[in-house]
A and B are shown apart, each in its own frame.
Chain A
Amino acid sequence: MWIVFGVWAVFCIWVVGYCKLNAFVDGGGEVPLTLGMPSWVFWGVAVPWLAATTFSIVFALFFIQDHELGDGEAGEVA
């Protein structure tokens, strides 16, 4: 569980930190684009999104351990 929360924190810092520096900007110049979207969206949202998805896939497939969950045996309710 703590790994999951740590991953959340890492991506939060990446996304919000990058966007703070590059998306909240004043000035009338042309907004730079990358692959057709504003560059801050590409590097601050799209790339971390891809990284988070990749991490989730690798983590789920290779690091979450399989456990016997039980067979729904009858339990007592107090």
Chain B
Amino acid sequence: MGGSFLAAASAGSSALVAFGLYIVGVFVVAWISGRKQSEKGFVSEYFLGNRGFGMWAFALTFAATAASGGTFMGFPAKIYSHGWVLALWIAGYMVVPLVAMGAMGKQLNHVARKANAVTLPEVMEARLQNRATGLVATLMIVFFMFFYLLAQFKAGSEILARLLGDIPGFQAAVSATSGVLKSVPLGVVATADPAYVFCLVCFAVAVIVYVVYGGFRAVVWTDVMQGIIMFAGVLIMLGLVLVQTGGLAKATRTLEKMSPPESATIQLAGLGEEIVTRGDWIEVSGEWVKLVGGLTSPDGAEARVAPVLIYQPVEGTAVPPLMALPAGVAVEIADRSGYANGHDSQGAYLKAPGPHTSNAAGFLSLTLAVSFFFFWPFGTLAQPSNMVRLMAFNNSRTLRRSIVMVSIYFSVIYFLMVVIFCAGRVLLPGMDDQADGVMPALATTLTSNAGVPWLAGVLLAAPFAAVMSSVDSFLLMVSSAVVRDIYQNRMRPTASERSLRLLSYIVTSFIGIAAMLTVLKPPAHLQDLIVFASGGLAGCFLIPVLLMLFWQKMTGAGAIAGMLGGFAMHTGLLIAGYSATGEFRVATPLNLEPLIWDLLLSGVLAVAVSFMSRRPGQEVIDRYFYSSPG
């Protein structure tokens, strides 16, 4: 392992070729999908693929859409930072396929077909015979989904920037971009990071082009390809990491000896002409010190670096590239502080609650573990992008087989990722300050050690595929809300196929470009926005949709009350969280996931208002409910 770990994250040119082939593959699949579009019923074809998807397409688009950039960037970072406790954190995924697909897949698909509905608001509107229900649902989807789009665009750009790294052609493109940005008389644009902006534009253009061209069919088939790449990427990484660590038992025993780093400040006296920079490693009194913060007073005589991270060397881990300081340099370490939980505790990475920098109770309390076991399956069930997929399979046999496939898929992806990145810490110690980059860094390290650097391109395609497969779905979701739910259903019911086609292309492009421009200067707390958006959507839709499908007394007014109740609770908890911490964070009363509170209020209001309002006539019930539910 030479150079900084961040530099190690940049794949070589052979990896870039492999990655380029993946991108070409995406476009070929999208092009073929676009050519296979049915000429009959443009809107149904463009936004729902005419409900004709079989097992492979349905299962993999469901799985790939659920796995976003967070799965391959944020989740590995958490495993790396907190250890084996992430197995408990993610354990709710063991029942996600059964809950998210089995609980209401058949009923939702049936109602959508009966209503000839293409979008979720349309289903609600038809089943509940209430136009306002559809409008409220549309507004909620557009509002929350836009946050999602922003976050995924940013993630896609960052992965691309990490891949391209210091390749000469990329650097030249960044320089050109910098010149263009400086010429724009707009502060936000002129001060944007040119490397980030270049990658953002490349990513956005690629996704917008294939979504606009191919619609839902292209999105689904590219999801299939991306889902296969994610699956293969995880299996390849597992094999490499187990071989290179000498087996899981050995890796876990080594991890047991590792303790979380301490944070400190160091003074370097007598440096002379020697220069230390951010990311360098030095050895002080047998400890490994990583210079994380900036260097101040670099006057050649004395320098202060704050913060640094101090690691205790552990036999069996990779040794970082330690820099030899010249004789006569005096090093003084001050202000040492350990993790609030896990400091000096042997085996902290092997036990619950897992180490944490600032929370003395550790990473995962028992109540949070219960909350997450609830959040993953029911949060996934309630995402409108997943519900739309439940409307697109061709028959109930496909649904049953897809549950089988997704169950195996999620087991492999999520559980094995915990294994990979717990063992990966042994191969890549010292990345706690850049944990978000651990996935590409480990991919590069594993393939370099194995003598197959080109394979890094395939492995790095996995997180990129995850981001792409989420962005394309969200983009189409917002677009369908505008074109179908607002324009066609409310403004121009008699609009021609040609005008709907044109409008769909324009709206999809416009939304993609608007999202791209919004994240030219990305907000600092984007991950918090994702959590806010996913929790908000689940809080608004889960109870109203479940009741609508399985409770004959559900009314449109009840659904609106349920959605607004979930929305009010979620935003109320956000305001409470912001007031308490000063950060964009949703409050968690009693240490429970906000979703649980959202659902409580949503459920109470939905049921109470339904009892107080007039339900749709018997002919509607007869139309949308099975005569013998099963």
Contact across chains for B407 and A57 when beta carbons are under 8 A apart: yes
Indicate if B397 sits at the interface (CB-CB under 8 A): yes
With A4-B99, A57-B407, A77-B126 as given contacts, are A67 and B351 in contact (CB-CB < 8 Å)?
Answer: no
Indicate if B95 sits at the interface (CB-CB under 8 A): yes
Contact of A72 among B113, B122, B352, B369 (CB under 8 A): B113
With A1-B103, A24-B366, A57-B407 as given contacts, are A67 and B253 in contact (CB-CB < 8 Å)?
Answer: no
Q: Which residues of B contact A37 (CB under 8 A)?
A: 84, 87, 248, 252, 419
With A31-B350, A64-B400, A77-B125 as given contacts, are A11 and B103 in contact (CB-CB < 8 Å)?
Answer: no
- Return the CB mask of B255-284 against A: 1 if under 8 Å, else 0: 010000000000000000000000000000
Q: Which residues of A contact B352 (CB under 8 A)?
A: 19, 23-24, 40
- Return the CB mask of B85-106 against A: 1 if under 8 Å, else 0: 1011001101101110011101
Q: Compute how far the CA of A41 lies from the CA of B50 in the bound complex, rounded to whole angstroms.
A: 43
- How far does the Cβ of B451 sit from chain A's closest Cβ, in whole Å? 25
Q: Which residues of B contact A70 (CB under 8 A)?
A: 110, 113-114
Indicate if B550 sits at the interface (CB-CB under 8 A): yes
Contact of B116 among A46, A56, A74, A78 (CB under 8 A): A74
Q: Which residues of B contact A73 (CB under 8 A)?
A: 113-114, 116
Indicate if B450 sits at the interface (CB-CB under 8 A): no
With A12-B374, A61-B400, A73-B114 as given contacts, are A44 and B103 in contact (CB-CB < 8 Å)?
Answer: no
Q: Compute how far the CA of A57 lies from the CA of B251 in the bound complex, rounded to whole angstroms.
A: 32
Contact of B370 among A12, A48, A53, A74 (CB under 8 A): A12
- Return the CB mask of A1-37 against B: 1 if under 8 Å, else 0: 1001101100110011001100111001011010111
Q: Compute how far the CA of A35 lies from the CA of B84 in the bound complex, rounded to whole angstroms.
A: 14
Chain A residues 32-78 with CB under 8 Å of chain B are: 33, 35-38, 40-41, 44-46, 48-50, 52-53, 55-57, 59-61, 64-67, 69-78
Indicate if B347 sits at the interface (CB-CB under 8 A): yes
Q: Compute how far the CA of A36 lies from the CA of B246 in the bound complex, rounded to whole angstroms.
A: 11
Contact across chains for A69 and B109 when beta carbons are under 8 A apart: yes
Q: Compute how far the CA of A38 lies from the CA of B505 in the bound complex, rounded to whole angstroms.
A: 52
Contact across chains for B373 and A12 when beta carbons are under 8 A apart: yes
- How far does the Cβ of B219 sit from chain A's closest Cβ, in whole Å? 20
Contact across chains for B98 and A52 when beta carbons are under 8 A apart: yes
With A45-B91, A61-B404, A70-B110 as given contacts, are A4 and B102 in contact (CB-CB < 8 Å)?
Answer: yes
With A45-B88, A75-B114 as given contacts, are A56 and B407 in contact (CB-CB < 8 Å)?
Answer: yes
Contact across chains for B404 and A56 when beta carbons are under 8 A apart: yes
Which of A25, A37, A44 has the most CB atoms of chain B within a 10 A radius of its CB?
A37
Chain B residue nearest to A64 (CB atoms) is B400
Indicate if B553 sits at the interface (CB-CB under 8 A): no
Contact across chains for B373 and A15 when beta carbons are under 8 A apart: yes
Chain B residue nearest to A67 (CB atoms) is B396
Contact across chains for B91 and A48 when beta carbons are under 8 A apart: yes
Contact across chains for B370 and A28 when beta carbons are under 8 A apart: no
Q: Which residues of A contact B92 (CB under 8 A)?
A: 12
Q: Compute how far the CA of A35 lies from the CA of B247 in the bound complex, rounded to whole angstroms.
A: 10
- Return the CB mask of B365-399 against A: 1 if under 8 Å, else 0: 01001100110010000000000000000011101
Q: Which residues of A contact B518 (CB under 8 A)?
A: none
Contact of A38 among B84, B91, B369 (CB under 8 A): B84
Indicate if B401 sits at the interface (CB-CB under 8 A): yes
Contact across chains for B252 and A36 when beta carbons are under 8 A apart: yes
Contact across chains for A7 and B373 when beta carbons are under 8 A apart: no
Contact across chains for B630 and A67 when beta carbons are under 8 A apart: yes
Q: Which residues of A contact B250 (CB under 8 A)?
A: 36
Which of A11, A23, A35, A74 has the most CB atoms of chain B within a 10 A radius of its CB?
A23
Q: Compute how far the CA of A4 lies from the CA of B102 in the bound complex, rounded to whole angstroms.
A: 7
Q: Compute how far the CA of A52 lies from the CA of B489 in the bound complex, rounded to whole angstroms.
A: 42
Contact across chains for B106 and A33 when beta carbons are under 8 A apart: no
Q: Which residues of B contact A12 (CB under 8 A)?
A: 92, 370, 373-374
Contact across chains for A67 and B106 when beta carbons are under 8 A apart: yes
Q: Which residues of A contact B99 (CB under 8 A)?
A: 4-5, 8
- How far does the Cβ of A74 sit from chain B's closest Cβ, in whole Å? 5
Q: Which residues of B contact A66 (CB under 8 A)?
A: 395-397, 400
- How far does the Cβ of A3 sit from chain B's closest Cβ, in whole Å? 9
Indicate if B177 sits at the interface (CB-CB under 8 A): no
Q: Compute how far the CA of A20 lies from the CA of B256 in the bound complex, rounded to whole angstroms.
A: 20
Contact across chains for A36 and B399 when beta carbons are under 8 A apart: no
Q: Which residues of B contact A55 (CB under 8 A)?
A: 98
With A15-B91, A60-B400 as given contacts, are A69 and B248 in contact (CB-CB < 8 Å)?
Answer: no
Which of A12, A56, A66 has the most CB atoms of chain B within a 10 A radius of its CB?
A56
With A49-B94, A69-B113 as given contacts, are A59 and B102 in contact (CB-CB < 8 Å)?
Answer: yes
Q: Which residues of A contact B103 (CB under 8 A)?
A: 1, 4-5
Indicate if B403 sits at the interface (CB-CB under 8 A): yes
Contact across chains for B489 and A75 when beta carbons are under 8 A apart: no
Which of B104, B125, B352 has the most CB atoms of chain A within a 10 A radius of its CB?
B352
Chain B residue nearest to A62 (CB atoms) is B400
- Return the CB mask of B107-151 against A: 1 if under 8 Å, else 0: 001100111110000100110011100100000000000000000
Q: Compute how far the CA of A22 lies from the CA of B546 in the bound complex, rounded to whole angstroms.
A: 36
Chain B residues 330-386 with CB under 8 Å of chain A are: 345-347, 350-353, 366, 369-370, 373-374, 377
Chain A residue nearest to B50 (CB atoms) is A72
Chain A residue nearest to B402 (CB atoms) is A60
Q: Which residues of A contact B104 (CB under 8 A)?
A: 1
16 residue pairs of the A-B complex, CB under 8 angstroms, read: A1-B550, A7-B98, A16-B373, A19-B88, A19-B352, A19-B369, A38-B350, A46-B415, A53-B408, A59-B98, A60-B401, A60-B404, A61-B400, A64-B396, A69-B395, A77-B125
Please list the 4 inter-chain residue pairs (A to B) with the smallest Cβ-Cβ separation, ordered nearest first: A36-B248, A70-B113, A23-B352, A60-B403
